[in-house]
Amino acid sequence: MSPRQKPVKSPPPLPKTATKPQFSENAITVLERRYLKKNSSGKAVEDPRDMLWRVAWTIAEGEKVFDPEADIKKIATDFYEMMARLEFLPNSPTLMNAGRELGQLSACFVLPIEDSMESIFEAVKQTALIHKSGGGTGFSFSRIRPRNDLVHSTSGISSGPLSFMSVFDCATETIKQGGTRRGANMAILRVDHPDILDFITVKADLSKLHNFNLSVALTDEFMTALKNDDEYDLVNPRDREVVKRLKAREVFSQIVRQAWLSGEPGIVFIDRINADNPTPEVGEIESTNPCGEQPLLPHESCNLGSVNLAKMYQDGKVDYERLGRVVTRAVHFLDNVVDINNYPLPEIEEQTKANRKIGLGVMGFADLLMLLGIPYSSQKARDLAVELMEFVDQTALKASVELGRKRGAFPNFARSIYADNPALPVRNATRTTIAPTGTISILAGCSSGVEPIFALAFLRRVMDDDELFEVNPIFEKVARENNFYSRSLIREIAHNGSCMGIEEIPEKFRLYFESAHDITPHDHIEIQAAFQKHTDNAVSKTINFSHDATVEQVEKAYLSAYERGCKGVTIYRDGCRENQVLNIGKTDSKQPAATPEKPIKRDRPRALTGRTYQMTTGCGPLYITINDDDQGLPFELFNTIGKAGGCAASQSEAIGRLVSLAWRSGLNPEPIVKQLIGISCHKPAGFGENRVTSCADAIAQAIRNHIEASNGRNQALHSENNNAFGACPECGGVVEHEGGCMVCHTCGYSECA
């Protein structure tokens, strides 16, 4: 029986000679907000040293399963040291929950969904339990019969997989309201499912599936049909009958266009993923975790961790001896997690322990390149990526085999691809994964995963409109050492999002201080493909596009990813979600700009006609009246909430006056909706499609409803701002799109965690 973490035992005192954690001030703020143990008053009752020692000791106690006489203190000290030196950090649930009552340490889960009401709602229940424990879930909805298909048991018709996705979305929203970590989901549908066209465009509607990432599972058959400009079969999963044929080119074009508009859906190459399935006799892989890097069997989970490559730099080169030592120790750490984890469901514990998958990845790759003076977009960077990941992968395999000799191979070894070589008793069916490291990279003070740095500098506005510049520490060090650092330079970089073209910076430094804005989609894909060559699972990476990128360029990137051996692709076109707040190019209010034609405020006629909408908010009923001009365009907005007076009423009135002023000055309604939709307050109301997150959100929804009622469906409102986000909902800081997720590097908030 594996050691459980109930009741929780406090570890012995931390050795006095232990290294003091090297956390930055910003990292400590994130730790205090999210990770440190707190009392009933919300006050932290441990410091960062206590947290790391709690985690290290708890994981080290997994040794007792195999060796009751093991020196737990020595093993725990080794684990502590690599975390305190920021050489390695496990995924957030392990840092948060190890040694605490919850004890759930995994981030990634995949649940099965069969074509029955019983299976669907059992999965809903299991999803709620996983989200309650802090995990994210992935699903394939491909087994559910299509919309309008026959249901023999009731002589009725099926509502299709999309309708059931809404049920999962609503359940996730409810769990979020309970005050736990935000739940995240991945929904995958095979490209040969009859409802695929509806799935591709479902999130064009702002009100749909806020708690899901979407990916289309592309098959080799589909890719062949695409290459040959041919048709392919749509297959009913109920009876495997072909119900229709579609042109692969038309379906692919729809995927590409929707991704260009909103960043979704992503794509996964499902047959390629299954070609690398280490246990094909155990089951077929149908889905991944929410960010796409961890393909899993149904009821399987995986615990992740990342090595900080920025710490592997020594004397102008990569310190492979140190890297090998950290990778070996990290594999040991993650294997122990499998045994001491407190799983949310017995089915998950059984499947996870049968395969013992771990996901060791890297972070800080962009930092390492800058330290080495290598441009991210260069062939040298790609060669280094292959070299590094091959070393990590081979070292992890060797460490897993050594553990297997001591502890035994994973139980499904005889049903795995390793069965033909019993002399190598692999302990873990998979070892390596490149995950997004949004929050733990903040703690480690390094760049996220294998992404480029988003910006060398950006501006964060604080109280009284003060300006606080966040500057990449490697760039700042180099700039100061070479005497070209100045506040005006940082302001210019923050405004441009890049150091390219700034003459004050010597050219040799400009070349290797590339940011995401300087790197082409081709270069992004080349790096992803380079890391994928020696990664057991998949690589989570965002392919960034400029705002003016074309649909054809997105298509080219998708095809290139397939040709280069990637297992999936997530793209993001800058600004395609109107409320993306990066404070780049918008940082200096004093920056000169072209003078636009001065807007003219129109006078109000004596009489106007319109509609009044009642919206239910957390502050009570909100009545919103929208009047149109003689052209049928919105002209003014009034609103009333509850009784006269009060903060909610005054704020709503202020919004109404500003909206009216904007309309009378000629502004279209779409930007107003995009600025207001999704703003959150402490009193949300409703569920699913009726969800209202604030009075501002209610006004935006009323405007949208008014436009639809007046002019029919306004596609721009639903296509260009899928899942409108805005600033970080917790601290108002900078939000970055990386690894298929939105992350705040100020407070550690993550859309997917």
The span from the CA of 675 to the CA of 673, in Å, is 5
Paired residues of 467 in beta bridges: 461
Query: 356 near 410, Cβ under 8 Å?
Result: yes
Label each residue of 124-137 as H, E or C: HHHHHHHHHCCCEE
Residue with the two structure tokens 């051996």: 565
Which residues are bridge partners to 641 per DSSP? 622
User: With contact defined as beta carbons under 8 Å apart, do 654 and 667 qualify?
Assistant: no
| E strands in 399-506 | 457-461, 467-471
Local structure of residue 109 (DSSP, 8 states): E
Question: How far apart are the C-alpha atoms of 300 and 140, rounded to whole Å?
Answer: 13
Burial 715-727 (b: 16+ CB within 10 A, else e): ebbbbbbbbbbbb
CA 471 → CA 26, 321, 468, 489, 681, distances in Å? 12, 31, 10, 11, 31
Residue 439 to residues 181, 341, 634, 741, Cα–Cα distance (Å): 13, 21, 43, 11
Lookup: tokens for 28: 């400590």
Token output for 283:
């089951």
Please choose, from the candidates 306, 305, 433, 438, the residue with its C-alpha nearest in 3D space to the C-alpha of residue 751. 438
For residue 384, give the nearest of 360, 362, 351 by alpha carbon.
Answer: 362
Contact between residue 217 and residue 140 where contact means Cβ atoms under 8 Å apart: yes
Residues labelled catalytic: 289, 291, 293
User: Is 622 strand, coil or helix?
Assistant: strand
DSSP of 657-706, one letter per residue? HHHHHHHHTT--HHHHHHHHTT---S--B--GGG-B-SHHHHHHHHHHHH
Cα distance between the two ends of the chain = 30
